[in-house]
Amino acid sequence: KDVRAQPVAYLERKPLSRYSEAVRRLRLGIQATPELDGPPRLMLVTSAMPGEGKTTLVLSLACSAAADGERVLVIDADLRLSATTAFFGMADKVGLVDLLTLPVKAANAIHLDERSGISLLPAGARTRNPPALLASARMRSLLDEVRGKFDTVIIDAPPVGPAADASILARHVDKVV
């Protein structure tokens, strides 16, 4: 049994549990931001170091938003570990790296998980230079494109301790958690 899947499965089975309510409260707290005109559409989730539960939080926030009827996209921008991609079993799918390096349309790289109702942009092919890809003009244009198509976009970014990736992406989102 996959230990990482437990909180998400628990959310699905027990939508009125304390955990579900805590995740919903956190999500609504993040959305209630006075500095923005509307609720934040693009949210980046990171941590200080690996193993602190950021992917579990990403999946929990996404499940909570989908359960409340939102159109949700999760972008796996942790191009070294890709735990979100593995969770959804989409390691073999076209994804973010392909979208940023090949002539691929976003619609062909975004995959719907039928069971949860969450759309996922998996990590895709391996790359030797994640920071350069994430800092590219193509990445900025992708974020602008998905902002208009989803109610909530949650980016699973690598921890800030070992990698610069989250800091690069933080400039292009509404909220960093």
What's residue 10's pLDDT?
A: 72
Given this model, what pLDDT does residue 34 score?
64
Q: How confident is the model at residue 1, as a pLDDT? A: 41
Number of domains in the chain: 1
Do the Cβ atoms of 26 and 152 come closer than 8 Å? no
What SS3 class is residue 71?
coil
**What pLDDT is recorded for position 4?**
45
> pLDDT tens per residue, the chain (177 residues)?
444 457 777 777 777 788 888 888 888 888 776 666 666 689 999 999 999 999 999 999 999 999 889 999 999 999 999 999 999 999 999 999 999 999 999 999 999 999 889 999 999 999 999 999 999 999 999 999 999 899 999 999 999 988 899 999 999 999 999
Domain that holds residue 96: 5-176
The CATH number linked to 151 is 3.40.50.300
Contact 100, 79 (CB under 8 A): no
Provide the pairing of β-strand 72-76 with 118-121: parallel
